[in-house]
Chain A
Amino acid sequence: MPFRLEKRPAPSRLMLYATPFGALALTMIAGALVFSLIGYDGLAAVQQIFITPLTSTFRWQDLAVKASPLIIIGVGLAVAYRANVWNIGAEGQYIVGGLTGTWVALATHGMTGIWILPAMVLAGMAGGMAYAAIPAFFKTRFNVNEILTSLMLTYASVQLVYYVVRGPWKDPMGMGFPQTRVFSEAARLPNMIPGTIVHWGVPVALLVALVVWFVMSRSVFGYRIKVVGAAPKAARYAGFSTNATIWLALLVSGGLAGLAGVLEVAGPFQRMVPGFPTNYGFTAIIVAFLARLHPIGVIFAAIVLAVTFVGGDLAQTTTGLPSAASGIFQAMLLFFLLAGDILVRYRVRRVSSQPAAGVRAAAEAQP
């Protein structure tokens, strides 16, 4: 190959923050082109997917509800990824959080009391943490790759949902349908604004992002996470334990994913159903990267992804776009973002076919 990637000494800060916007623009351009080429109205498709969801107030509530679990999970993943801990199983931790929350809801069924919801939230976070503790244990004890363990545990958690809704937690009044009973009033997340579907999970998501941003930028904990991730050797000299950081990163991201899960089951779902796993945990990975692993950026990135979900369904009814379209746009977004990252961190150098000569020529060219 006549080209070679060379690491830039210091990537431009401006470019680092500009790439997400560039990736978004490129996604829209490429999307319009691709869909025009295969016979759809490409421009209308882009407009439906990226613009229309923002244009009316009644859709903002959809965006808020769709974005809030993405924010909560995305913030947790941003912390873990900062520490170079690759938790890919947030979906599983989200599901287990939903399940442990459901457990409290079912155990307190028919009771009243304002303590029920907080208890569910705590149970959900604990569930997510416990599920993330498994990869943490294997990673720190046996050096098992956390990407594999956390990902595979996701599939196990989906089976767990199927098991409980068919067996022990099946709705006794549900005519045999595989779902739990509807939670009683005290176990349901109330709507924040009457007449809308905006529930209290939305402000919680924003609060989580703010708190984590504050902790990451102002505390020793945040500093430590960043140092371990960016310079593991320096971290060891500084006396930061790598293992403790791995544990922290997984517990924080797992706990937050569990929080998202319990808020989702207590809010929009209000009962556990086999359709509970909806890939928020996987989408949140795109969110975290699009946000440059910045907690406040996560808010905006989550809204962008929420827009593509809402817009994707809209585009089906208005321009007849297939349902796969929103997935294609999300994938392009991640692709352009990662490609952009490469170019920000590395520069492409033209080299002649004989590398030795090329290096010499380059050396001579230097004044």
Chain B
Amino acid sequence: MTLSRRNVLKIGGAAAALPLLGQKAFSQTEPLKVGFIYIGTINDNGWNYAHNQGRLYMEQELGDAVESVFVENVAEGPDCERVMRELVQAGCKLIFATSFGYGDYVIKIAQQFPDVKFEHATGYQRSENVATYNARFYEGRAVCGTLAGHLSKTGKAGYIGSFPIPEVVMGVNAFVLAARKVNPDFTITPVYISTWNDPAREADAARAMIDQGIDVIAQHTDGPAALQVAEERGIVGGFGQGADMSAFAPKAQLTSIIDNWGPHYAATAKAVIDGTWESKDSWPGLKEGEVVIGDYNESIPDDVVAAAEAVKNGQIDGSMHIFTGPINDHTGAEKVAAGVTLTDADLLSMDWYVEGVIPPA
């Protein structure tokens, strides 16, 4: 039996199924059991893959102190409530719910099990034992937008989103704000496909937008489908989202925004073990290394890479914030005055587009 992920899980799972066998006999202190629920499969090479990598990192960092289990393809509805309850019954004391739509149910289930800690990714509702966490993806979007501004020939980008929620809207806005600093005529067209993961629909949306003249594509969905279309059609390119996707689009992937959840998962599990966990919202970004910019494509000229790096480093050292005014909304009216920077609260409720976004019908 090789020590593959599956087998590690199998052993962990077997132990999970038999909590009565007295794990205390084998180890001094009982390991903290951590449960993860994913909206898609860990093989999506994007969002869920990145969370699972984070889980594995946590296991590696904390060794015997933790064990973890995960459940894939958990729908955003009453099903996730049941799955979380199962995880609690199986002995999990810390549960990471890694999709936005789990929110209501996390709050509900957390009331029933006050001694279990819950962490909800990208959510906004907290309680005594529910914390929220997210990453400042928009910082990465600003880097991608800079590349797009320099490289696009048509000055038009497409953006495949799931739902027009603030999380996604702020990514669209950050992208086009950065691109327009380079090319003031740059425009972006968001398309919402109402799901986090549907490769066929993502690819269709990408094709349709390419036919309409975009030559750069970005996506806020879970997989590499749009990038694959970009590769196939030979447009300027696109960006890996969640993880490096260059294996699927070696030419088309200009760079990638890598979600590095591992340190957060390890630190959170450690805090629960040490008894120092508390309910809060954590929203780190490039500076803390939770958002990482992947390798730049070799085809990108050095001066463009340098421009992208400058935007990245500016956000790391705090000298630059992409949402600093003057910012106009998509109708051209001034929304943010010169020198003013939007607060986190403004960002987390963002429901308007900046200039350069062609809003979907």
Q: Which residues of B contact A317 (CB under 8 A)?
A: 13, 16, 35, 69-71, 86-87, 90
Whether the Cβ atoms of A318 and B77 lie closer than 8 Å is no
Return the chain B residue nearest A65 by Cβ. B78
Whether the Cβ atoms of A320 and B78 lie closer than 8 Å is no
> Which of B161-169, B289-297, B301-309, B310-318 lies at the interface with chain A?
B161-169
Q: Which residues of A contact B71 (CB under 8 A)?
A: 313, 316-317, 323
Cα distance A104–B350 when bound, in Å? 30
Whether the Cβ atoms of B10 and A41 lie closer than 8 Å is yes
Whether the Cβ atoms of B86 and A197 lie closer than 8 Å is no
Q: Is residue B325 within 8 Å, beta carbon to beta carbon, of the partner chain?
A: no
Whether the Cβ atoms of B77 and A320 lie closer than 8 Å is no
Interface size class of B (residues with CB under 8 A): 35 or more
Whether the Cβ atoms of A176 and B164 lie closer than 8 Å is yes
Return the chain B residue nearest A271 by Cβ. B104
Cα distance A62–B80 when bound, in Å? 11
**CB of A124 to closest CB in B, whole Å:** 17
- Identify which of B6, B14, B72, B81 contacts A318 (C-beta below 8 A): B14
Q: Which residues of A contact B9 (CB under 8 A)?
A: 320
Whether the Cβ atoms of A319 and B165 lie closer than 8 Å is no
Cα distance A197–B78 when bound, in Å? 10
A323 and B17 contact, Cβ closer than 8 Å, known pairs A162-B194, A178-B164 = no
Interface size class of A (residues with CB under 8 A): 35 or more
Q: Is residue B53 within 8 Å, beta carbon to beta carbon, of the partner chain?
A: no
**CB of B271 to closest CB in A, whole Å:** 23
Q: Mark B1-45, 1 if CB is under 8 A from A, else 0.
A: 000001001100110110000000000000000010000010000
Q: Which residues of A contact B164 (CB under 8 A)?
A: 166, 176, 178
Q: Is residue B64 within 8 Å, beta carbon to beta carbon, of the partner chain?
A: no
Return the chain B residue nearest A274 by Cβ. B194
Whether the Cβ atoms of A176 and B13 lie closer than 8 Å is no
Q: Is residue A358 within 8 Å, beta carbon to beta carbon, of the partner chain?
A: no
Q: Is residue B66 within 8 Å, beta carbon to beta carbon, of the partner chain?
A: no
**CB of B144 to closest CB in A, whole Å:** 23
Whether the Cβ atoms of A273 and B101 lie closer than 8 Å is yes
| Interfacial residues of chain A within 1-47, with CB under 8 A of chain B in the complex | 39, 41
Whether the Cβ atoms of A274 and B163 lie closer than 8 Å is yes
**CB of A36 to closest CB in B, whole Å:** 13
- Identify which of A65, A66, A273 contacts B76 (C-beta below 8 A): A273
Whether the Cβ atoms of A176 and B41 lie closer than 8 Å is no
A177 and B41 contact, Cβ closer than 8 Å, known pairs A317-B69, A317-B90 = no
Whether the Cβ atoms of B13 and A322 lie closer than 8 Å is no
Cα distance A166–B168 when bound, in Å? 14
- Identify which of A39, A274, A323 contacts B41 (C-beta below 8 A): A323
| Interfacial residues of chain A within 150-178, with CB under 8 A of chain B in the complex | 162, 166, 175-178
Q: Which residues of B contact A62 (CB under 8 A)?
A: 82, 85
Cα distance A344–B348 when bound, in Å? 61
**CB of B88 to closest CB in A, whole Å:** 10
Q: Is residue B74 within 8 Å, beta carbon to beta carbon, of the partner chain?
A: yes
- Identify which of A162, A269, A316 contacts B70 (C-beta below 8 A): A316
Q: How many A-B residue pairs lie within 8 Å, measured between CB atoms?
A: 98
Whether the Cβ atoms of A275 and B75 lie closer than 8 Å is yes
| Interfacial residues of chain B within 46-81, with CB under 8 A of chain A in the complex | 69-79, 81
Whether the Cβ atoms of B13 and A320 lie closer than 8 Å is yes
Return the chain A residue nearest B13 by Cβ. A318
Cα distance A72–B256 when bound, in Å? 47
Whether the Cβ atoms of A320 and B6 lie closer than 8 Å is yes
**CB of B27 to closest CB in A, whole Å:** 20
| Interfacial residues of chain B within 99-116, with CB under 8 A of chain A in the complex | 100-101, 104
- Identify which of A65, A177, A273, A309 contacts B165 (C-beta below 8 A): A177
Cα distance A29–B348 when bound, in Å? 51
Whether the Cβ atoms of B351 and A176 lie closer than 8 Å is yes
Whether the Cβ atoms of A176 and B169 lie closer than 8 Å is yes
Q: Is residue B331 within 8 Å, beta carbon to beta carbon, of the partner chain?
A: no
Cα distance A318–B100 when bound, in Å? 25
| Interfacial residues of chain A within 200-252, with CB under 8 A of chain B in the complex | none
Q: Which residues of A contact B169 (CB under 8 A)?
A: 176
A323 and B72 contact, Cβ closer than 8 Å, known pairs A269-B78, A278-B77 = yes
A197 and B75 contact, Cβ closer than 8 Å, known pairs A318-B16, A319-B10 = no
Q: Is residue B83 within 8 Å, beta carbon to beta carbon, of the partner chain?
A: yes
**CB of B232 to closest CB in A, whole Å:** 26
Q: Is residue B154 within 8 Å, beta carbon to beta carbon, of the partner chain?
A: no
Q: Is residue A332 within 8 Å, beta carbon to beta carbon, of the partner chain?
A: no
Cα distance A26–B69 when bound, in Å? 30
Q: Mark B158-180, 1 if CB is under 8 A from A, else 0.
A: 00000111100100000000000
Residue from B13, B90, B100 with most neighbouring chain A CB atoms (10 Å): B13
Whether the Cβ atoms of B10 and A322 lie closer than 8 Å is no
Q: Is residue A60 within 8 Å, beta carbon to beta carbon, of the partner chain?
A: no
Whether the Cβ atoms of A176 and B165 lie closer than 8 Å is yes
Whether the Cβ atoms of A178 and B75 lie closer than 8 Å is no
- Identify which of A162, A166, A274, A314 contacts B86 (C-beta below 8 A): A314
- Identify which of B35, B79, B81, B351 contacts A278 (C-beta below 8 A): B79
A275 and B10 contact, Cβ closer than 8 Å, known pairs A175-B166, A317-B70, A318-B17 = no
User: 30 A-B Cβ contacts within 8 A?
Assistant: A58-B89, A66-B82, A166-B163, A175-B351, A176-B164, A176-B165, A176-B166, A176-B349, A176-B350, A178-B165, A182-B104, A268-B77, A268-B81, A273-B76, A274-B101, A274-B194, A276-B77, A310-B82, A313-B74, A313-B83, A313-B86, A317-B13, A317-B70, A317-B71, A318-B16, A320-B13, A322-B41, A322-B72, A323-B72, A323-B73
Residues of chain A having any CB pair with chain B under 8 Å: 39, 41, 58, 62, 65-66, 162, 166, 175-178, 182, 197, 268-271, 273-276, 278, 309-310, 313-314, 316-320, 322-324
